[in-house]
Amino acid sequence: MILAVASGKGGTGKTMVSDSLASVWQHPVLAVDLDVEEPNLGLFLRPEPVRDEAACLEVPVLDPARCNLCGACAQLCQFKAISLMGAQLLVFPDMCHGCGGCMRVCPQGAIQKGQRVLGRVETGLTASGIRCLTGRLRIGEAMSPPLIAKVRQHLRAMADEAALDVIIDAPPGVSCQAMMAVQDVNVILLVTEPTPFGLHDLRLAWQAFRSLGKPMTVVINRAGLGDEGVQSFCREMGLQVLMEIPFRREIAEHYARGGVLAEFDEEMRDLFTGLARKIAAMAGAGGHHA
Amino acid sequence: MILSSIRRIAITSEGPTLENAVDPRFGRAGGFVVVDLESMATSYVDNDSSQVLAQGAGIQAAENIANAGVQVLLTGQVGPKAWTALQATGVRVAQGIEPMTVGEAIARFKAGGFAFSDAPVR
């Protein structure tokens, strides 16, 4: 079973819901932070590091001795990673998306494989046995999707190896990064807040993810704030609101100290245990990793 | 600077004429007015091919400049990658162009009012 915790709007409580669900999950679980530009799930789950490795993208390296300036590579590249300027072939590895096309079209074998470090892939284990996996984008790196793809490869390997359920803390928004995080999951949980901003971005997320045909459900954070717009939208679209987290100062303080909300008090633990059960039921009879 | 070796210059511009405003952007410039300094004949190089790119606009614009056969580029600022590309063409670059028309920029250039840059804007 793979669950993605997503939202249109940032700062609605994805990480808070993800870490709480992981902490009450009945089956052995892997908690994955796919928000590689600013991963923060580890701040709450506090895993002991297990592995930490570099993730790289294959980029072109020019062998000028072989290059005859035919320009086939520059013509093929859609990202201006290679440019033929007069009698010089220029390579900009930062621009490369790693398609490998230049290496294939070069008739001289003048383009060798090099590597650009995208970031790190880190795994860990918490004291209570939650396995953790995250990507961490290198500072200065502009492209997060290739790193997210690498983390997803690790995700599949780790989940298959130990028959783990998976909870993904997805990046905010509805761009490539978020779409990558919610594909191949069994359930998408949208965390929102009952404000016009929350509603606007919830609608965007619902529209973007709807095309995937996955079961979607909603958790409303900061309930009691704002207006009824989110509730009406969910009713209208047939989105079930599985849980509401009240807008309370003590909850914010607990979170700001790095606390897991499900460990705030017994009421919260029960709420999240109930939420976990409902999600597992939505994911299907077995509720286990497919 | 040796003005006699400079025959054609390009100015980043919002439009095709000497009356158009200069465009301080390089990679995403509307286009380039190319001026023959002797005859003062102008031509216009559209920069659409750069503007449609999601990335690499500066590098594409540098290719456009290289194909225009100019010795000098006047613009607002050139980024590091476009700078590397322009260096390969030997085109000399003057940055920091202020709001004015293309015609005014040319007059100022002829009067020695621009200094050539030796580094991109970072």
User: Chain B residues with CB inside 8 Å of A88's CB?
Assistant: 88
What pLDDT, in 10s, does the model give residues A125-146? 999 999 999 999 999 999 999 9
List of chain A residues whose C-beta atoms are within 8 Å of the C-beta of residue B60: 80
A83, A88, A91, A176: best mutation site toward chain B, by most B Cβ within 10 Å?
Answer: A83
Q: Is A105's Cβ below 8 Å from some Cβ in B?
A: no
**B110-120 mean pLDDT:** 91
pLDDT tens-digit profile of A9-35? 889 999 999 999 999 999 999 999 999
CB contact under 8 A, B88 and A90: yes
Q: What is the mean pLDDT of residues B44-71?
A: 92
Residue-range domains of chain B with CATH: 3-110 (3.30.420.130)
Residues 6+ apart with CB under 8 A from A26: A276, A277, A280
Q: Assign B2 a pLDDT band (cuts: 50, 70, 90).
A: low
Give the closest of B54, B59, B89 to A92, CB-based.
B59
pLDDT at B4: 64
Say which residue, A204 or B5, is predicted with more confidence: A204
**Beta carbons of A92 and B66 less than 8 Å apart:** no
Is any Cβ of chain A less than 8 angstroms from the Cβ of B53? yes
Longest CA pairwise span in chain A (Å): 72
Tell me which residue of A19, A23, A30, A283 sits closest to A160, measured CA to CA.
A30
Q: How confident is the model at residue A284 (pLDDT cuts 50, 70, 90)?
A: confident
For helices A266-282 and A14-24, what crossing angle results, to 10°? 90
> Would the pLDDT of A288 be above 50?
no
A-chain CB neighbours of B89 within 8 Å are 85-86
Interface check A95 vs B, CB under 8 A: yes
Mean pLDDT of all residues in B73-81: 95
Nearest CA in chain B to A83: B59
Instruction: Give B102's contacts (C-beta < 8 A, 6+ positions apart).
Output: B11, B13, B17, B18, B19, B20, B21, B22, B33
With H, G, I as helix, E, B as strand and everything else as coil, classify residue B45. strand
pTM score: 0.86
* pLDDT at res. B59: 95
| The pLDDT value given to residue A286 | 39
Cβ distance A251 to A238 under 8 Å? no
- B89 and A81 within 8 Å at the Cβ level: the answer is no
Would you say residue A65 has pLDDT above 80? yes
**What does the pLDDT read at residue A71?**
95
HEC states along A169-217? ECCCCCCHHHHHHHCCCCEEEEEECCCHHHHHHHHHHHHHHHCCCCCEE
Domains of chain A: 2-46+127-283 (3.40.50.300), 56-117 (3.30.70.20)
Q: What is the pLDDT of residue B3?
A: 58
Check if B24 contacts A (Cβ < 8 Å): no
The predicted structure's pLDDT at residue A123: 98
Residue B122: pLDDT band with limits 50, 70, 90: low
The mean pLDDT of A208-227, rounded to a whole number, is: 95
Quote the mean pLDDT of chain A.
95
Helix, strand, coil share (%) of chain B residues, nearest 5 = 30, 20, 50
Widest Cα–Cα separation across chain B: 39
A285 pLDDT higher than 50: no
Rounded alpha-carbon distances, angstroms, from residue A126 to A4, A164, A177, A228: 20, 15, 26, 39
- Residue A232, judged by CB atoms within 10 A of its CB (0-12, 13-18, 19+), counts as exposed
The answer to whether residue A70 neighbours chain B at the CB level (below 8 Å) is no
pLDDT of A289 reads 45
Burial (CB < 10 A; 0-12, 13-18, 19+), residue A163, is: exposed
- The partner residue sitting opposite B59, judged by closest CB among A83, A86, A88, is A83
Task: Give the pLDDT confidence score for residue A144 in this predicted structure.
Answer: 95
